[in-house]
Amino acid sequence: MTSTTDVTAPGANLIAGEESRKGTSTFRATDPSTGQQIGPQFHEATADEVRRATRAAGEAHRELRTWSGARIAGMLREMAEQLRAAEDELVATASRETGLPQEPRLRGELARACGQFDMFADLVERGTHLDVVIDHADDTSSPPQPDLRRMRVGVGPVAVFGASNFPLAFSVPGGDTASALAAGCPVVIKGHPSHPATSQVAGAALVRAAAAAGAPAGTVSLVQGAGTEVGEALVLAAEIRSVGFTGSPGGGKALARLAATRPVPVPVHAEMGSLNPVLVTQRALERRGDLIAEELAGSLVLGVGQFCTSPGLVFVPEGVAGDAFVERLVEHLSAVEPAPLLNAGIRAGLAQRLAATGGVTGVTVRLDGTPTQDDGPVVCAPSLFETDLATYRTNDELREEHFGPASIVVRHAAGATADVVPLLGGHLTVTLQAEQDEAEALVALRADLVETAGRILFNGFPTGVAVTTAQNHTGPYPAASDPRFTSVGARAIDRFLRPVTFQSTPDALLPDELKESNPLGVPRTVDGALPA
Amino acid sequence: MTSTTDVTAPGANLIAGEESRKGTSTFRATDPSTGQQIGPQFHEATADEVRRATRAAGEAHRELRTWSGARIAGMLREMAEQLRAAEDELVATASRETGLPQEPRLRGELARACGQFDMFADLVERGTHLDVVIDHADDTSSPPQPDLRRMRVGVGPVAVFGASNFPLAFSVPGGDTASALAAGCPVVIKGHPSHPATSQVAGAALVRAAAAAGAPAGTVSLVQGAGTEVGEALVLAAEIRSVGFTGSPGGGKALARLAATRPVPVPVHAEMGSLNPVLVTQRALERRGDLIAEELAGSLVLGVGQFCTSPGLVFVPEGVAGDAFVERLVEHLSAVEPAPLLNAGIRAGLAQRLAATGGVTGVTVRLDGTPTQDDGPVVCAPSLFETDLATYRTNDELREEHFGPASIVVRHAAGATADVVPLLGGHLTVTLQAEQDEAEALVALRADLVETAGRILFNGFPTGVAVTTAQNHTGPYPAASDPRFTSVGARAIDRFLRPVTFQSTPDALLPDELKESNPLGVPRTVDGALPA
């Protein structure tokens, strides 16, 4: 631990490599464990600062698009190094601003963030993401086919919106930033106002790394703001070509509507959370009910329930085993120490949602962890509701995410799991808690499970999203704005790449990736064959 | 040639396999060569017919999603067969409704359409499109990684809007239909009102093929309508998950705006045409000016200029060689026989656009082929404008597509090609007419060319879009609504697939494509390796 956790200089935006404080409106962070304001004043970015950041990003794009994958990889690895070098300051600052524990949570989160930069470095160094396809000329086909060579290039500057709940791995140094930069796209990041100092420390590490790698000044900018104006100006900036967002459905939908009004509309990749239904079979209840209840409680209160993969909806068969399961779940959750929520907005949203759900006829409040609305320190205990399938079916309130440590248990007739799945709607994940020896019987549900989520888990719990190539962190609306693109794992880069094809072009004019001799050795699909 | 080209029965919608004529508003096709109405009355689809079609598509999706790639492939091949079996009727009907010649144009277009069904059959039979990625569990990583297996599945029912200018290959039996069905997605096709009988004959062939392959009735439906109501109802239907459109910028943008208002927004893949700039270097002019002028004229009048890849903007250096080139272009275009435009809407749009461009100060009308606005037979000759770079730079009219046989020659200082490219905006294609021995000197332009188009041609002309894997028929806005997705070639299927990942799932519950033993033999990326 270092002693640099108190940022005493005024907070700053980072515009094209320079600290900037032009705005007259300011805001400060709040210590969630005390409710007191902490740290320096942060100046909201002005319209001119946003413009400077996006213009610099446009200029940076003109240079980065000429960089090889190896050079981009070098910059990404330098970013991981600079983040690691700032580890103690980042973790301590993030803990103060979020109330999340340094150990193991925030230190683990930083490791995840750094790992993402390293993973994308490996990816772009190999060139897999370029998706190179070469179809040689074919004069024998009718009509004759010209030589066509396709690769992918970065779409251009990306606006990234940091999330409040992962101040490192889904915020300034998160997966959106890493994947956009890996695609060769400069980023202008809107820091989340819940952790402005964390954003600044992380942003400064990225800026240092970009400079060390010889990247243009506009490669990484950070704009701060407590209201919506800064983000709106960013999404409307002419240079922006795509938007990455992790946060609430309200925020994601508003940004998508705004982006659609641009003279040149751009995609908003919004990951908007979900209820992540868990379905527990009768057999699993009978064999492992106590263990599942214990593990489910642990999953539900991870990060004080403020995970987009938090299991907010649990389907449990009626009957003795199900009753016992619910009682065990109540017991485990009752024993959980209250912990601070991330910010006042989440507290207010959760309180409102809990009140609405608790007021639905047919819903029983099993545990009421409603956070208080005072200005003082706020800690939140878990909430649990219980209801029946008919009530769930007819009340839209029960389909809304309760962001925080809250879950709804829906009891249904034993054996009726097949009736439940088509009612679920769109989620990031859906989990089956079932026994291996009933896997075959569950095949009939599979197609409906696929329709409802981007990731289907058999046992395990949805919290915990491994960063691998096969990962898929997206889902049918409203879990995400576009279920074709993941925001976690290697394929997150796909959001920020577009194909371009060269026809009948001489080798001397082709990018190296497409030259006949393949001087960079990138994987390529040639004449319909699989990559060599 | 058969004698079945006169459809005498009333025209029909094809709703879930059945002819349906519930609407009270009717419309007829027009013979573009005479301006006279021809063929039967077509009943515009009612809101209820659209609803029946989309509901049946939703039901069909529930069955098609369980089909193997091999079974889908069988259906696609049957569709190609049924289209070939209807060849004479299709080609004759299309020729009557569009004024396009049967030989070689429409017969070639049908071959292209059938080839697309066959290509997608090959693709889904191999399983390449599934993009299977398997990451085995790794207990040694920190945190431990679970077993994750990812594949792609169809997004669900797709609305397809037929284009007027390719009544076969970009209409009812076009690439959108073939790629959506290949992805396992049922289609509800809005036929273009310019060729309703062609749409019906093609739709009936697809319906017969689907039935022969044992596909559910809702797999293919066709709704007809002369106004915008039918298409609007279709885009707003709850079951629709994606939209494919080829047509005017006005139409594409309106559909995108509408789709964004849905409770569940869906992507609109609109390919909206472009000006397809051609840049001719001084050296190319000097060595091949006459030949380039002749071939450019030929490309410009293909399909009476009604191609989305028609070269509508040509940049030519000032000077003697450039002057001679333009004179040769005028000569070749003057010799072109006037030919009928596809429909009254295109005629009116072209007349308006030609008048606007001709009225710009600094623009010289070199050839005026303005079509008349009478009700009688209308034929259209080529139009050619000439202007300078300063005028092009300051007049937005010159950046608009002139859909028809019209092009604008922009003269610029010799050697100033590098100044031209950043002014171009978004197009489907950009073409360099240059010499092999100046390829290296042109490398400096490459990054800007990539920014302006989805396909970059060296020599050749942009008309002619080969159907291969490396093809890319899309481009930066406003050429297409999303430059990340092509609407031509094997990768057109990407629009209609989304990934889904199974975590820690027993083999018995996994789809065959993801089972450990790979019983279907699909290509897979395992633990980061390239496909075997």
- Interface residue of A468, A496, A526 to substitute, partner B, most B CBs within 10 Å: A468
Name the residue facing A466 among B145, B477, B523 (closest C-beta): B145
- B501, A472: Cβ pair inside 8 Å? yes
With bands split at pLDDT 50, 70 and 90, how would you rate the model's confidence at A213? very high
CATH 3.40.605.10 domain residues, chain A: 14-23+37-272+485-494
Chain A neighbors of B439, CB-CB under 8 A = 505-509
The side-by-side arrangement of strands in the sheet containing A278-280 is: A364-367, A383-388, A406-412, A313-317, A278-280, A427-433, A453-458, B497-503, B148-154, B132-135, B524-526
Give residue-wise pLDDT tens across range A435-474.
999 999 999 999 999 999 999 999 999 999 999 999 999 9
- B440, A148: Cβ pair inside 8 Å? no
Residue A9 pLDDT more than 80?
Answer: no
Nearest to A491 by CA among A524, A464, A468: A468
Structure tokens at B143: 């945190």
Architecture of domain B15-23+39-132+155-272+485-494: 3-Layer(aba) Sandwich (3.40)
Would you state the pLDDT for residue B3? Answer: 35
Which residue in A89, A239, A271, A435 is the catalytic one?
A: A271
Q: Are B14 and B45 contacting, i.e. CB atoms less than 8 angstroms apart?
A: no
- Interface residue of B153, B505, B525 to substitute, partner A, most A CBs within 10 Å: B505
Chain B neighbors of A156, CB-CB under 8 A = 451
Instruction: Give catalytic status of residue A380 as yes or no.
Output: no
Report the half-sphere exposure of A161 (CA within 13 A, side-chain side): 28
Instruction: Give catalytic status of residue A271 as yes or no.
Output: yes
Query: Cα separations (Å) of A503 from B312, B430, B449?
Result: 19, 10, 13
Q: Are B379 and B339 contacting, i.e. CB atoms less than 8 angstroms apart?
A: yes
Which residue in A114, A125, A239, A308 is the catalytic one?
A: A308
Q: What is the 3-state secondary structure (H, E, C) of B437-468?
A: HHCHHHHHHHHHHHHHEEEEEECCCCCCCCCC
Would you state the pLDDT for residue A532? Answer: 36
Element housing B97 (H / E): helix B87-98
Give residue-wise pLDDT tens across range A287-327.
999 999 999 999 999 999 999 999 999 999 999 999 999 99
Q: How far is A16 from chain B (nearest CA, A)?
A: 22
Structure tokens at B281: 């270097």
CATH 3.40.605.10 domain residues, chain B: 15-23+39-132+155-272+485-494
Nearest to A166 by CA among A225, A87, A247: A247
Q: What is the C-alpha separation between B151 and B364, in angstroms, rounded?
A: 56
- B458, A267: Cβ pair inside 8 Å? no
Q: How many contacts (CB atoms, under 8 Å) link A and B?
A: 209
- B446, A531: Cβ pair inside 8 Å? no
Give residue-wise pLDDT tens across range A401-428.
999 999 999 999 988 888 999 999 999 9
- A460, B153: Cβ pair inside 8 Å? no
Chain B neighbors of A474, CB-CB under 8 A = 498-499
Element housing A447 (H / E): helix A443-452
Architecture of domain B278-458: 3-Layer(aba) Sandwich (3.40)
- B471, A439: Cβ pair inside 8 Å? no
Residue A4 pLDDT more than 50?
Answer: no
Q: How far is B484 from chain A (nearest CA, A)?
A: 4
Chain B neighbors of A133, CB-CB under 8 A = 469-470
- A456, B503: Cβ pair inside 8 Å? yes
- B464, A143: Cβ pair inside 8 Å? yes
Would you state the pLDDT for residue B6? Answer: 45
Which residue in B44, B89, B109, B271 is the catalytic one?
A: B271
Q: Are B169 and B156 contacting, i.e. CB atoms less than 8 angstroms apart?
A: no
Q: What is the C-alpha separation between A376 and A374, in angstroms, rounded?
A: 5
- B65, A481: Cβ pair inside 8 Å? no
Would you state the pLDDT for residue B273? Answer: 85
Q: pTM of this prediction?
A: 0.96
Name the residue facing A443 among B447, B455, B509 (closest C-beta): B509
Q: How far is A399 from chain B (nearest CA, A)?
A: 15
Name the residue facing A498 among B442, B447, B484 (closest C-beta): B484
- A470, B260: Cβ pair inside 8 Å? no
Would you state the pLDDT for residue B337? Answer: 92
Give residue-wise pLDDT tens across range A363-386.
999 999 988 766 666 789 999 999
Chain A neighbors of B257, CB-CB under 8 A = 260
Nearest to A205 by CA among A185, A178, A225: A178
Chain A neighbors of B62, CB-CB under 8 A = 447
Give residue-wise pLDDT tens across range A11-56.
999 999 999 999 999 999 999 988 899 999 999 999 999 999 999 9
The tens place of each residue's pLDDT in chain B, 532 residues long, gives 333 344 457 899 999 999 999 999 999 999 998 889 999 999 999 999 999 999 999 999 999 999 999 999 999 999 999 999 999 999 999 999 999 999 999 999 999 999 999 999 999 999 999 999 999 999 998 889 999 999 999 999 999 999 999 999 999 999 999 999 999 999 999 999 999 999 999 999 999 999 999 999 999 999 999 999 999 999 999 999 999 999 999 999 999 999 999 999 999 999 998 999 999 999 999 999 999 999 999 999 999 999 999 999 999 999 999 999 999 999 999 999 999 999 989 999 999 999 999 999 999 999 999 887 666 667 899 999 999 999 999 999 899 999 999 999 999 998 888 899 999 999 999 999 999 999 999 999 999 999 999 999 999 999 999 999 999 999 999 999 999 999 999 999 999 999 999 999 999 999 999 999 999 999 999 998 644 3
Residue A143 pLDDT more than 90?
Answer: no
- Interface residue of A421, A505, A507, A526 to substitute, partner B, most B CBs within 10 Å: A505
- B264, A477: Cβ pair inside 8 Å? yes
Chain B neighbors of A256, CB-CB under 8 A = 260, 265
Name the residue facing B143 among A148, A464, A502 (closest C-beta): A464
- B458, A146: Cβ pair inside 8 Å? no
| Average pLDDT value for residue range A223-251 | 97
For chain B, what is the radius of gyration of the CA atoms? 24
CATH 3.40.309.10 domain residues, chain A: 278-458
Would you state the pLDDT for residue A417? Answer: 87
Q: Which residue in A has a C-alpha nearest to residue B504's C-alpha?
A: A458
| Average pLDDT value for residue range A89-101 | 96
| Average pLDDT value for residue range A133-138 | 96
The helix, strand and coil proportions of chain B, stated in percent and rounded to the nearest 5, come to 40, 20, 40
Would you state the pLDDT for residue A378? Answer: 75
Query: Cα separations (Å) of B285 from A156, B296, B366, B406, B449?
Result: 34, 13, 20, 21, 20
Name the residue facing A501 among B426, B472, B500 (closest C-beta): B472
Which residue in B49, B89, B109, B308 is the catalytic one?
A: B308
Name the residue facing B455 among A453, A486, A501 (closest C-beta): A501
Q: Which residue in A has a C-alpha nearest to residue B456's C-alpha?
A: A502
Exposed e or buried b for every residue in B397-409, given b needs 16+ CB within 10 A?
A: ebbbbbbbbbbbb
- A454, B499: Cβ pair inside 8 Å? yes
Would you state the pLDDT for residue A373? Answer: 65
Architecture of domain A14-23+37-272+485-494: 3-Layer(aba) Sandwich (3.40)
